[in-house]
Every structure is written in C-alpha cells, then in structure tokens.
Amino acid sequence: MSIISDSVKIMRYLFSPFKKIIALYLIAVIILSFLEVFRISLVYPIINYGLGVENQPKLLDAFYDFLIPSSVDPFLAAAFLLLITTLIIAGFYAVVAYAGAYLFATVRDSLDRRVFDTIQSRPYSFFASKKQGDLLYIGQGAVTESGMAINQFVELLRNALLSLLYLLFLFYLSFWLTIGVMVLGAVYAFFVKQQLFSRVYRNSGELNRSLMEKSVVYQEFISGIKTMFITGSVGVWKKKYESSINSLLKAYLNVNALSKIPSIANDFIMFSIIALGGILLYFFTGGNFIPYIGIFGTFMLALYRLVPSLTAVQSNLSALVQYLPALEMVYNILSEDELNKSRLSDNSGKSQKLKFSFEKKIEFHDLSFRYDSTKENTIQNLSLEVNKNTKVAIVGSSGSGKTTAANLLALLYKPSSGGIFVDGVNLNDIDHSDYLRHLGYIGQETFVYHDTIKENIRFGLDCSDKDIINAAKLADAHGFIMEAGEGYDTIIGDQGIKLSGGQRQRIAIARIILRKPEILLLDEATSSLDNISEQKIMESVEKLSINMTVITIAHRLSTIQNADLICVLKDGRLVESGSHEDLMELKGVYWNLYLGQNEDKDISSMDC
C-alpha cells in the first residue's frame, strides 16, 4: 500500500468522528478562497484603468461594468473594492484560524481520551510485552502529532482549493502561458513526489524510533535513579542517553533539511518565471508592452500567490508524511482495541457474566499456561484446592511457576487450558470487576505515587479520613505516619522515595483493610524486606487475615510454616502438598528448599 493510500485510510478512521466540524471549516475555507481570487482580479482593472488601457478580457470587462456604476470613477471604485475585500478576507482569516485551532484542540483531546481509554482497558499481557517508554510516547507524543496531522490535513485542503482557483484564473488570463508553467510544475512535482516524500517518510520513521528510544532511556533512568546512584551507573545511562540524543539529532537534521527544499526551489522557480516572462513580453511586443502590462502584472501576481499555496500544499503533504508513523501507532492501538471489543461482544452475547460468590473453595483444575514468548508451558496440569478461610502457601524454586499462578489468580493472564473455579464456577464466567473487588493483592513492589499518605491509602476509594486512620492503625502504619512532617498529609515523593520498603508495604496493607476483601493474595510480599520489617508485616497480615482466605506466594519458607496447606511446585507441576510438618517428614523438594535456606542463614550469620 502506498504512503498516500495509507494516510487516507488511517486519517479516515481516526478523524471520521469530526466530519461535521471539518465540513464547517471547509465551507469557510471555500468562501475565503473565492474572495482571495476575487481580490487578485481587482488588480487587473486598477492597472488598466490607471494606464487608460481598454484591452481587458470581455468577461472581466462585463463583470466590472456590472459591478461599478458608470457614474463612478472605475479606478477609485476598483481600489475601494480591493480595500473592502481585503478587510473581509482579514475577518475570514481570523475565523478560519480560530476554527483550525479549535479543530486541532478538539481532535487532540478526543484522541487523548480514546488512546488512554484503550490502553487502560488492555490486558496485563499487553503491558508486559511493551516498553514503558513506547507507551509513554504513544500516549503523549504520538497523540499530539496526530492532532497536528488533522491541522495539516485541513490546511492541505484549503491550500489545494486556493491553488486550484488561482490556476483556473491563470488559465482564463493566458491559456498557453499557464500550460508552460504547468509543464515546469509537473516536472518539479514529479521529482518532489518520487524523491522528497519517500525520503521524508523514511527519515520520519527514524525520527519516531529515536524519540521512543530517548523516552525509554529517560524513563529507565528516572525509575532506577536509586540503583543508579548506589551502583555508580549514572555514567552508563548518560552514555545511553547521549547515544539516543545523537540518533535523534541526526533524524531531526534530515527531516528538517528535507522539509526546506520545496520553499527554496519554489522561490527560485517563481522569480525565474517572472524574469523570463518579462523578457519574453518585451521581445514579443517589440517593446510596446504597455497595452499588455495589466494582464501580465495580474498574471504574475496570481502566479506569485499560487506558488506559496502550492508550496504550502507540498509542506502539508510533507508534514502528513512526517506524522504518518505517529498516526500509524495511534491507529494500530485504537483499531486493534475495536477488533478485541467486537470479539468480546460476540462472546458476551453467548453468556452473561455472573456475580462473584465464594462460600466453599477455589480450585485450580488441570490448569496449564504458556507465555507468548516461550515454547514450553510455565504451568503444566496444575490442580489444587483452597478452602474458604484457610491459609494456603504456594512455594518452589525460581522458575517453578508460583508467581505465574498468582498472576492467573489475579486475572493478569488467562489459562492456556484448564481453569480456576470458585465454588465450581469458572473464573472466566464471573464478572471480573466484581471478583477483583473481593481480591486483595500485596506484591513485592508496592505501587505508591507522588501524593499524600492519606491519598495513597485511600487509592480512589470513597471513604472518610477516620476510616483511613483506623486502617493505618490496624496495619501498624499510624506510628510512622504521625512521625512524618505533615502526618497523613505528608507528600511521599515519586514512587514513595521518602518511605522505606516496610513502610510502603504497610500502606499497601492499610489499602487492603479499607477494601475488606474475601481473598488476600500475597505475592512474595516480604521477600525484599529485612527480618525485622518482615516480622512486622507478617504480624499486620495476621491481624488482617482473620475470616479471610489467604494465598501466599512465598520465597522465604519461614513466613508460611503456620499455613494450613503448603503446595510445592516444580517445573510448573504440583509435586508435594501438606502442612509444614508433613512436608518436612517427607524429606522431598520442600525439605531440600527449607534446608537450603537455613544453610544460607547459617552462612550469613557466620559472615557477620
């Protein structure tokens, strides 16, 4: 598919919701274009009447005889008409400029909302397969460039219409001279289309890739700033950033240099035509060019106005080609989402989602799962049961599939085969929003954001400050919160940089307490904490989990010895299950894991 047809297809899809606004804009543009040509035509009688020349074309002569009363001096009348038309055009330009700005703002706002709505509705696997920097660029840079693209598109229509009217007027003034100009223009346009546009498109693609690379490196640097400082790796990321900046500089230079070529060439061609036209007029009239000066001057003025319009058309096309990679990104995101929604609507028609109800047990039944990036199943034929109000731990060495099991339970992924059942109902048949309202999750990395401690605990929930304080007390967080500078109104910094890992986890526990879930999922929630912080967190969890079903994904086996059931995974399969005492007596996989961790502790204590 060609660049132009790609652009038309994508723009038709993205901008079809704005057909009415675009139509109103184009009506104003059409009126403005006719007024522009009419203004140029007024120069013709001014020159002829001023020089006393009578040889103007019959159509124009008849038109001005009709427009200007015989009792009025035609020279003054034409001059006044030119002034009035110029004032009207200035007003129309103001209207069109505002309409264009309004159109750009409306389109950008709409795309901004549509892209965010689309991204936030995508499954977790979508985010796991993308770079954060790429998603940041799509939601920010690409959306802005898409709004600029519609601005360039309507400008293209305006300039193309104006160019067409100027061209028709030139044909009326001098058919053969216009043909000669068109031949030169066609040769030039062919060169521009074949050489310039394709090169702009290639370099624009490189520009967008460089922008995304820079965004990714910058985002990685900000996210990992603590590690960068501690490990002395700032210089490494500085080199990576400089490399991305160098690529961006090269791409910007190429795109900007190519975009200047049309205006330089047009300026050269325009004045060359005027000079050659003047020379030819002199020789063809034998020096008696005064009778033809009106038509020649008007022709050259119209041509002079035509060339900038054509230049603008070329610039608009170049800009559209430059923005096409960004348009493609937005188009791919939105169109793929519509396809997914249509599939979901087809499936939703077959069965209605059920409300979440949990009275007996959660069952993993013959469950298998494989990530898109791997060939082997991460979980293979897993079957286990979690009875209500019990504490179940899932353990195993790294890569055993325990975190994947948690991800499946949290609906971050869908099983490849088999399923998870709640009281015999497949989790896929349960309303996901309703289910997630009853699921509390605490992971190894707690998400906190740049706001007050109070808002980080509330996390969008409609609750009172009293509820927040009570939740913080139950989570053993009230003490350190009150010691902070502004108490619950203390700003914790980006990603909670002012808090320790244990403090962030206790804020997460306070969130869970506010939501009162039936199921609590702990995914290695204390694995990154020291022993003292871990003990405090586990005490808080113990308080929280009364009359609650707790599923713990554990790395440190010392934290799950009191679990009612411990399930041991190896290579994605359930190999052992039972209480801590039962598994220790079995002296199998769990026993080896437990001994290995205790040996590590002994070695650590000896090192100390």
470 pLDDT exceeds 60?
yes
398 pLDDT exceeds 80?
yes
Q: What percentage of the chain reaches a pLDDT higher than 70?
A: 77
pLDDT at res. 567? 92
Average pLDDT, the chain: 78
Q: Choose among 502, 162, 106: nearest CA to 305.
A: 162
3-state helix vs strand vs coil in the chain, percent to 5: 70, 10, 20
Cα distance between residue 339 and residue 327, in whole Å: 18
Side chain identity at residue 180, one-letter code: G
pLDDT at res. 177? 77
Alpha helix segments (H runs only) across 443-557: 453-458, 465-474, 478-483, 501-515, 531-544
Chain segment 247-286, per-residue pLDDT in tens:
878 877 777 766 666 666 667 776 777 777 777 767 776 6
pLDDT category of residue 152 using cuts at 50, 70 and 90 = confident
Q: Which of 275-279, 316-320, 472-476, 482-486 has the lowest mean pLDDT?
A: 275-279
Phi, psi of 247 (to 5 degrees): -65, -40
Q: Choose among 303, 63, 358, 69: nearest CA to 174.
A: 303
Pairing, β 439-443 against β 391-395:
unpaired
pLDDT category of residue 428 using cuts at 50, 70 and 90 = confident
Q: What is the DSSP string of 144-211?
A: HHHHHHHHHHHHHHHHHHHHHHHHHHHHHH-HHHHHHHHHHHHHHHHHIIIIIIHHHHHHHHHHHHHH
Chain segment 167-201, per-residue pLDDT in tens:
888 888 778 777 877 777 677 666 665 566 666 65
Please give the residue that has the higher pLDDT: either 58 or 301: 301
Two tokens at 498?
Answer: 């002012």
pLDDT at res. 263? 66
Using an 8 Å Cβ cutoff, are 380 and 400 in contact?
A: no
Arithmetic mean of pLDDT, 472-497: 83
Considering Cα of 420, then 421, then 427, then 429, what sign does the dihedral take? positive
pLDDT at res. 368? 92
52 pLDDT exceeds 70?
no
Q: Which of 35-39, 229-233, 370-374 has the lowest mean pLDDT?
A: 229-233
Q: Choose among 441, 452, 412, 444: nearest CA to 511.
A: 441
pLDDT at res. 301? 81
Cα distance between residue 14 and residue 3, in whole Å: 16
86 pLDDT exceeds 50?
yes
Pairing, β 425-426 against β 417-422:
antiparallel
Arithmetic mean of pLDDT, 71-100: 82
Pairing, β 391-395 against β 565-570:
parallel
Cα distance between residue 412 and residue 332, in whole Å: 22
Domains by residue range for the chain, with CATH: 3-332 (1.20.1560.10), 353-438+555-608 (3.40.50.300)
Cα distance between residue 442 and residue 512, in whole Å: 8
> Is the overall model pTM greater than 0.75, yes or no?
no
Q: Which of 22-26, 491-495, 556-560, 602-606 has the lowest mean pLDDT?
A: 602-606
Side-chain-side CA neighbours of residue 297 (13 Å): 16
pLDDT category of residue 533 using cuts at 50, 70 and 90 = low
Chain segment 114-142, per-residue pLDDT in tens:
888 888 777 777 777 777 767 777 877 78
| Count, residues in the chain | 608
Reduced to 3 states (helix: H, G, I; strand: E, B; else coil), residue 439 is strand
For residue 72, CA distances in Å to 64, 68, 69, 77, 238 come to: 12, 7, 6, 7, 76
578 pLDDT exceeds 70?
yes
Cα distance between residue 110 and residue 147, in whole Å: 9
For residue 225, CA distances in Å to 27, 219, 237, 245 come to: 54, 10, 10, 19
Cα distance between residue 270 and residue 304, in whole Å: 7
Chain segment 324-383, per-residue pLDDT in tens:
888 888 888 887 766 555 544 445 544 578 888 888 999 999 999 988 877 888 899 999
Phi, psi of 581 (to 5 degrees): -65, -45
pLDDT at res. 291? 62
pLDDT at res. 532? 59
Q: What is the DSSP string of 274-336?
A: HHHHHHHHHHHTTT--GGGHHHHHHHHHHHHHHHHHHHHHHHHHHHHHHHHHHHHHHHHHHHH
Geometric angle at alpha carbon 165, from 161 and 171, rounded to 5°? 145
Chain segment 549-565, per-residue pLDDT in tens:
889 888 778 888 888 89
Arithmetic mean of pLDDT, 467-488: 85
Chain segment 508-521, per-residue pLDDT in tens:
888 888 888 888 88
For residue 561, CA distances in Å to 393, 584, 604 come to: 9, 11, 21
Chain segment 287-313, per-residue pLDDT in tens:
666 666 767 777 878 887 887 888 788
Cα distance between residue 302 and residue 43, in whole Å: 10
Please give the residue that has the higher pLDDT: either 531 or 170: 170
